[in-house]
Amino acid sequence: QPAIEIRHLTKHFRRRDGSTVPAIDGASLDIQDGEFIVLLGPSGCGKTTLLRSVAGLETPDSGAITVGGKAVFDSGSGTNLGADRRELSMVFQSYALWPHMTAAQNVRYPLENQRGARQGRAAMNERVAEALGAVGIGDLGGQYPNQLSGGQQQRVALARALVNNSKVVLFDEPLSNVDAKVRESLRIELLAMQRRFGFTALFVTHDQAEAMELATRIAVLDRGKVQQFGTPDEIYARPATEYVAKFIGNTNELHGRRAEGGYETPLGLVRTPQDAGDQATVLFRPEHAELSAERPGTASALPGRVVAVLFMGTHTEFLVRSGETRMRIWVSGRSTDFAEGDEVWVGLREDHVMVFPAA
Ligand code: ADP
Ligand code: MG
């Protein structure tokens, strides 16, 4: 049975002027036990609303949600369990640890505020010590959050999320206020913890690199709609829509008209077996093109002139101009094959070309 099942979920908010805006628009997701699912999209696309709907902090207009096989929301039957009865935990932005409580008090908080029969003090303390020990900070229970490093705070937040034995943990951009270097290591640690404890993670971010690194599967959201739900590989190599192609990774863009064998663009024929209708947006990634001095034997060859060369550390970026079109081509490592002003050809394989119906 799926860990979380989201069916045709819809949620509108009313604006000041009385009009309504769909924050979630018919979203469906099936999430298996132990998966690390990332909800990815720009600010305002509905990630937080979807997460809060699963948590029971927001009531959708329609649809259904199950957690651990149990119906927690169903507009059809009127089911709507409170947040404290959904057997999941939520980790908020910046971990939201209480600054005036020690690590141990923070972890104990959900136990003290648990619904139903409260455990005795000794039992609670034992659970807290277990949880802190499990995340490897058994000796830091007496410390206050501001005495802890970012990694230690993350462990406290995880201990607090896991102290109730939650099998599902929801994360709302917990790393967004952390600087890039620390964020990198916190991600790796979070992933290790998730693998170790085996909980199912539903993690919200607007950062595509973070999504690629953490996710077993990514759900790309646009204006409340799930545009694509797939593994990082699938989403990168076979984006379902132009929006997904542009949101994940980098793209070069041409516009073309359907022709024999592909699309006729201002730079010539781009060969592809795909059909996106008469008028299409033709995309390819900077790392998927080859540069050459002589016309290459690849399926497609686009002429241009190098206008800038930028060494980026892991790759060299060649800015190539052709008429009104500018393209970025990446060659791994440091490349001195071409210089500013050189006439070049951009070679493309058929399977590296993506076409979508022109908007
Ligand atoms: P994200 O987390 O992806 O940035 P949100 O779920 O916060 O997106 O918001 C989705 C949309 O719903 C946005 O247009 C936002 O302005 C709107 N929205 C969110 N919460 C409320 C609210 N409580 N009242 C009115 N509009 C809201
Ligand atoms: Mg949000």
Tens digits of residue pLDDT in 100-146: 999 999 999 988 877 666 778 888 889 899 889 888 889 999 999 99
What pLDDT does residue 123 have? 86
Which is it for strands 62-67 and 36-40: parallel, antiparallel or unpaired? unpaired
**In the chain, pLDDT over 70 holds for what percent of residues?**
99
Give the position, in ligand 1's atom list, of the atom nearest the Cα of 173: 2
241 with 257, same domain: the answer is: no
Whether residue 229 has pLDDT greater than 80: yes
Q: Is 281 in the same domain as 137?
A: no
**pLDDT confidence of residue 116:** 65
Look up the CATH number of the domain holding residue 111.
Answer: 3.40.50.300
Do 94 and 215 lie in one domain? The reply is: yes
Q: How confident is the model at residue 150 (pLDDT cuts 50, 70, 90)?
A: confident
Distance from the alpha carbon of residue 208 to the mean position of ligand 1, in angstroms? 20
ipTM of the complex, rounded to two decimals: 0.99
Per the prediction, the chain carries an average pLDDT of: 93
pLDDT value, residue 174: 86
Please give the average per-residue pLDDT across 313-332, as a whole number: 96
Please check whether residues 71 and 209 belong to one and the same domain.
yes
Report the range of poorest mean pLDDT among 177-181, 272-276, 350-354: 177-181
Ligand nearest to the CA of 176: 2
Average pLDDT over residues 70-94: 92
Looking at residue 108, its pLDDT comes to 93
Residue of 43, 45, 32 lying closest to 5 (CA atoms)? 32
Q: Is the pLDDT of residue 309 over 80?
A: yes
| Residue 233, pLDDT score | 96
Please report, for the domain that includes residue 351, its CATH number. 2.40.50.140
| pTM for this prediction | 0.91
Residues 86 and 199 in one domain: yes
**Residue 58 pLDDT > 70, yes or no?**
yes
In a shared domain, residues 188 and 55: yes
Q: Where are the alpha helices (DSSP H) in 97-173?
A: 103-112, 121-134, 150-162
Convert the pLDDT of each residue in 180-215 to its tens digit: 888 888 888 889 889 988 999 999 999 999 999 999
Overall average pLDDT of the 35-43 stretch: 97
Both 17 and 113 in one domain: the answer is yes
**What does DSSP say about strands 343-348 and 20-31: parallel, antiparallel, or unpaired?**
unpaired
At 122 the pLDDT is 87
pLDDT (mean) for 77-87: 93
Query: What pLDDT does 117 receive?
Result: 64
Mutating to test ligand 1, I would choose from 48, 222, 225, 226 the residue with most ligand atoms within 8 A of its C-beta, which is 48
Which residue range is the domain that position 341 belongs to? 251-357
Return the H-helix or E-strand segment holding 66: strand 62-67
As a whole number, mean pLDDT of residues 254-270 equals 97
Q: Hey, whose CA ends up nearest to atom 1 of ligand 1?
A: 44
pLDDT, mean of residues 54-59: 96
Of 12, 13, 14, the one to substitute when testing ligand 1's pocket (max ligand atoms within 8 A of C-beta) is 13
Tell me: do 173 and 312 sit in the same domain.
no
Q: Distance between CA 228 and CA 240 in Å, rounded?
A: 6
Distance, in Å, from the CA atom of 331 to the CA atom of 337, rounded to the nearest integer, reads: 10
Q: Which of 217, 245, 273 is the last residue of a domain?
A: 245
Q: With 70 as the cut, is the pLDDT of residue 34 above it?
A: yes
* Alpha helices (H) along 135-207: 150-162, 180-197
- Residue 95 has a pLDDT of 78
Within this chain, do residues 235 and 267 fall inside the same structural domain, yes or no? Answer: no
Which ligand ends up closest to the CA of 13? Answer: 1
Is the dihedral angle over the CA atoms 238, 230, 253, 291 positive or is it negative?
A: negative
The answer to whether residues 264 and 119 belong to one domain is no
Q: How many Å separate Cα 130 from the centre of its chain?
A: 31
Could you say which of 245, 280, 295 is where a domain stops?
A: 245
Residues 219 and 347 in one domain: no
In the chain, the number of structural domains is 2
**How far are the Cα atoms of 33, 54, 89, 130, 197 from residue 163, in angstroms, in the given order?**
19, 19, 9, 8, 12
Q: Among 245, 270, 305, where does a domain finish?
A: 245
Q: Say whether both 9 and 89 belong to one domain.
A: yes
